Amino acid sequence: MRCSFPLFCQRDEMHMNVSLHLQPFGRGSTPKYMAIWWLDPELTYGISKPFVFTQGHSVCNRSFFPCFDTPAVKCPYSAVVKAPPGMQVLMSATQSTYKEQEGVYEFYMEYPVPAYLVALVAGDLVPADIGPRSRVWAEPCLLETAISKLSGRVERWLSAAEGLYGPYIWGRYDIVFLPPSFPIVAMENPCLTFIISSILESDEFLIIDVIHEVAHSWFGNAVTNATWEEMWLSEGLATYAQRRITTETYGAAFTCLETAFRLDALHRQMKLLGEDNPVSKLQVKLEPGVNPSNLMNLFTYEKGYCFVYYLSQLCGDPARFDAFLRAYIEKYKFTSVVAQDLLDSFLAFFPELREQCIDSKTGLEFERWLNATGPPLAEPDLSQGSSLTGPVETLFSLWTTEPLDVAAASGGVDITKWQTFQTVLFLDRLLDGSPLPHEVIAKLSECYSAQLDGMNAEIRIRWLQIIVRNDYYPDLHKVRLFLENQMSRMYTIPLYEDLCTGPLKPFALEVFYQTQSQLHPNLRKTIQQILAQGLNPLLAIDTAAAPALAADAPAAGPEDKAPEAANGAVSLRDVNVSA
């Protein structure tokens, strides 16, 4: 691999040239090469060819190529990649060519981007157009599913976003579906969004995740946070834009339902971390030696969103705020900003608010929004979603009111007719109330277990967590079956965390030893660390692979997050780990 920069240039003249020769050197990624993930064929869906992808966020691409690995520095780049025959190579670039005889791909990104948005993927990938400027790439066995889920939809979302925030500047918007080993849900690489294939079965989550990445084309990619200490400038604004797009395309009720689900998760995380935890600040302090990815949590997304929503309410009309955001994008396009840039621009665009000293309003000062720990200072009015959230609240109340009225609780609502976000909101609230009385969990199983078996993985994992947190042994075989068929971090880690906090840890050990060969090495290390915490030495002696769980368990892989490690119950399903 070769990488070169001009010896002398102005900042706006900088250009990066990268030359790569793909030659797998082993499974997984290592601390030395944290950005590069090599997969053996058995870790793909097709199990016929190896696979490689990169994940640069936040500061991993320094192990991929020499670079200024900070979001404050942007430049165009070009790359030359030589790959074995039969390997399709893609990069986050505006232009690409392929010289078949030489097996060489050439890529060019004409717009300045930060290093973390340079991305590469190679494997058995085939394309299909799903719109005039979009295509999906996936392994052959997944392509038809990807087409059926997204054909025509992406163009609708792009058009809605353009109507709100101005032209889409990146040319194409393609999506590549990655194997379950992809460590997060999605990544907004320009021109080529990466998404984990596991999300394909959960339609509403797929919609939200893709729209969130579409929103990043304006907020995060075009205008970027200059420092990782202000990640909310990308994630909070992208979340706000995502919800404006969903309101335009699916209505306010759907948007309010999804927001209620996420804010529930924010308050759940706050209870676990504590309201005075410094990571709950929007301007969080990044200590030397700390990976910025460790600061990515629901405060970055949802507290950031609440602040942006509050700003939108100050100007009295969402359309006026959309106009401000269009001007903000136009002013700072292809640059990196700090919070003061956004807020100064806001007050300049709305001089009447500056005259009112709105930035110093008691209790809602801009400075307090940025630097106070704890929950958002104000949350959005979600009453427009009551037609969807109301039935959830009613059913939850019926099941948790003592004494239990079985007839009323079991006969009131047909959850098979609910939207996914209604069902997961209901199950999350049952999770928050666990452990439940034995009579309640038994009746819940009797009423819903068979129905939930046929629903998507986002729903099933929550029901299985309820089973585990309530030590409900009659349904435990469903937990085993689920883990035997899952290779994704987002569907395995939450269950192992719950299994290891109670009497079901021996069950967790047994399932892990039976399934570990199908897991990516980095995920396997993470689960080993979870299993190793508080392990009974006598239990370890009786377990076949116990040495792997000794006190010197493997060091955390690049996918490990500090908040999760410090607070075992804070699992990735509670965070939209779309970067």
Contact at 8 Å (CB) between 133 and 155?
A: yes
How far apart are alpha carbons 454 and 452 in whole angstroms?
5
Which of 139, 188, 204, 213 is the catalytic position? 213
Indicate the SS3 state at residue 38: strand
* Amino acid of residue 81: V
Residue 179, number of CB atoms within 10 A of its CB: 22
Reported residue count of the chain is 579
What is the rounded CA–CA span in Å between residue 45 and residue 520? 13
Beta bridge partners of 82: 21, 104
CA distance 412 to 551: 51
Nearest to 54 by CA among 218, 230, 194, 200: 194
- CA distance linking residue 217 with residue 333, whole number of Å: 11
- Is 213 a known active-site residue? yes
Radius of gyration (C-alpha) of the chain in whole angstroms = 24
Q: Which of 164, 212, 166 is nearest to 333 (CA)?
A: 166
- Please enumerate in sequence order all residues whose Cβ is within 8 A of that of 10, keeping only pairs 6 or more positions apart, or say none: none
Residues 6+ apart with CB under 8 A from 231: 225, 292, 295, 296, 300
Q: Phi, psi (5° rounding) for residue 66?
A: -65, 130
| Selection from 203, 145, 209, 196 nearest residue 488 by Cα | 196
CA-CA distances (angstroms) from residue 536 to 377, 505, 508, 531, 569? Answer: 44, 10, 13, 10, 20
Ordered alpha helix ranges (H), 454-544? 457-469, 476-484, 489-499, 505-515, 521-532, 537-541
Q: What is the 3-state secondary structure (H, E, C) of 248-311?
A: HHHCHHHHHHHHHHHHHHHHHHHHHHCCCCHHHCCCCCCCCCCCHHHHCCHHHHHHHHHHHHHH
Q: What are phi and psi of 485, to 5 degrees?
A: -115, 15
- For the record, the structure tokens of 289 come out as 């030696």
Residues 105, 80 contacting (CB under 8 angstroms): yes
CB 489, CB 513: distance < 8 Å: no
Question: Sign of the C-alpha dihedral, residues 155, 161, 162, 163?
Answer: positive
Six-digit token string for 473: 């042994």
Q: In whole angstroms, what is the distance from residue 71 CA to residue 295 CA?
A: 15
Active-site positions read: 213
